[in-house]
Amino acid sequence: MEIKEYNKLVRDNIPEIIEKDGEKPITHIAEDEEYEKALMEKLQEEVNEFLTEPSKKEMADVLEVLYAIAKLKGFDLDEVEKVRQERTEKRGGFEKKIILERTEKE
């Protein structure tokens, strides 16, 4: 018997996909605290995958986790977008590609 350990949050259809591939998934439903921790770990995993392979697919995975976190935290995505726009108006975006090397003060 071959056992593979994962202990990580997966998308809702993954257990069915695993079964179709002839394996038996062992799962449990996370309580809120475990779910939040698992989402944060999943975000890091997906960001690392995006950094390794920048693609639309990997960016979509990052966004999916961010949407799940927003839902968990009760953040309205329209409000988040409004805050993003306000911050961009006040502080700018990243279009100018500015790298801050240092500051000096006399």
Give the pLDDT confidence of 42-59 residue by residue, as tens digits: 999 999 999 999 999 999
Say how many domains are in the chain.
1
**The whole model's pTM is what?**
0.86
In a domain, 59, yes or no: yes
pLDDT at 1 over 90: no
**pLDDT score at 56:** 98
Domain span at residue 65? 30-91
Structure tokens at 18: 């695993």
Give the pLDDT confidence of 57-67 residue by residue, as tens digits: 999 999 999 99
Ordered DSSP codes for 68-94: HHHHHHT--HHHHHHHHHHHHHHH--S
Distances (CA, A) of 54 to 7, 65, 97: 25, 16, 18
In a domain, 3, yes or no: no
